[in-house]
Structure 1
Amino acid sequence: MKLLRFTHSGQTRIGKLDGDQVVDLSAVPGVTGSMRALIASLPELRPALEAADGQRFALPDVRLEAPLPDASKFLGIGMNYAKHAEEARQAGIPVPYSQLWFNKQVSCINGPFDPVVKWNAAEAVDYEVELGVVIGRRCRNVKAAEARSVIAGYMVVNDVSARDWLKRSPTFTLGKSFDSFGPTGPWITTDDAVADPLALEMKLWVNGELRQEHPTDDMIYDIWAQIEYLSTVMTLEPGDILATGTPSGIGAPSGRFLKPGDVVRAEIGGLGAIENRIVAEEA
């Protein structure tokens, strides 16, 4: 099942994708305007959601919104693919010897087709296609062998990063958290619809040029290890977003940073694609 938030005629609602149509789920008992609340109740609501056949809209006729604009956490792991870690080292970013986690402040969450602002204060804006994991239930001290049981689903993330700001502080948080630097979507594909999240192909294009192409099976720390590590420290909540790392091909080593007018398309096989235009900060 593919769950989404969409706007039609000025109203934003929760729906599901059925082929090339969006099915409105507003009439399903228990469905409110919050995707985070739906995720928390997904086991109970699933039969009704799957059976629902509400008002339908053609996909091109709706505006797709960020699936989880009210996530309580948006966490990302740094340099989780070997070749990317090496290119990051070449760009002057220290390579960690354990899992390196940072916050993307939730105020950066952006829609799957909304513009990304190239802020005047950020000189070196870069792209990172990533597999986003959505936590499905409140959990702590989860063992790697049980980690999949706490996942609600997956989506595409572009972990937009200001490389100059990554170097300004001991953590990555500031460089990862500019407003609009968290495009996500286009929907949440539930875990049961993904045979193996570690066998998905990720691709990213800038202005039609393929810059990143890599399968998710090459993570240094796989999804299960990530959840075990994080949940040792903190309680994970329904709707929390984990960005699980990007492969090589970022712009930093060559200095090919994003500029206003660029169009960035990030795609993961089976999960869909998001596409964002880079725009200049308004005066």
Structure 2
Amino acid sequence: MAATHLPALVYHPCYSELDLPERHRYPITKYRELYQQLLNLNVPASAFTTPNAITADQLQLSHSADYIAALQHGTICPKAMRRIGFPWSATLFSRSLHSLGGGLATAQLAMQHGIAIHLTGGYHHAFANAGSGFCLFNDLVFAAQSMLLQGVDKILIFDLDVHQGDGTAHMLQNEQRIISSSIHCEKNFPSRKQLSDWDVGVSKDCSDSEYLATVAESLDTLIRLHQPELVIYDAGVDCHQDDELGLLNLSSQTIFQRDLLVLSRCYQQNIPVAAVIGGGYQRNITALVQLHLQLFKAAFTVTGSLLASKIKT
């Protein structure tokens, strides 16, 4: 794959256009702030693709019709919405369809450009017929299943969010063409873990060097064993030492080294990578966005863009 100097980027304004109660735990404004920071770094607006929403019918590829309809029409029970963690609204449903459309566009662009990054995503706690942990629908699974239909034969979902991708694991338990993997904090949400194809639960006192070694060994092994034609990478930053829900103690430099490791390993082996920014939970949005920018710094480094030097670690 030839270097493009900039990875393909995918963003929609609706990602931050959700009216949540005051002091709600979800940092909904981080997507808009991340987009603005990239523009401030002189990333041209033309580098961004604005995705179309998928349809409710398309969503049945990965989710049950009854569950989709209940969310679409607001008939879902309050207990199920409490498990998701958002108040129901038509805007929430529409935003989710755009997010999944963006995830699919990111996978498609990765096949063309080598690296593509979605400025949201990582909704890995969503199951086929239920949502959980701020996740309504599973964008990782939907994108992977869609890419199978478009001729990709083997896909690796490499999930480094601090929380286990339980929904992803459960949804893919009978799909051998999509490899689910999760490296997460063992003593963290969800309390009931599902069985991925590759699970590593790291301890709360895991050091930076131990964590990076685990990521490298896992990725190298998974690539060697499965020879994926596409990697979908969940680059959650909630494993950072300042995250309020993460429970790990990793430094900002380690987040950058982790992302650089994943992107460079795949790029050097001509394996396209579709990355999503994943989780991150700090009320200090400026600090949180700076952490998410590590993924872009890593991508700019791999593709040879001079913009990499403008992002602090």
TM above 0.5:
no
Greater helix content = 2
TM score, norm. by length of structure 1: 0.28
Specify which structure has the bigger relative contact order, considering alpha-carbon pairs within 8 angstroms and separated by 6 or more residues: 1
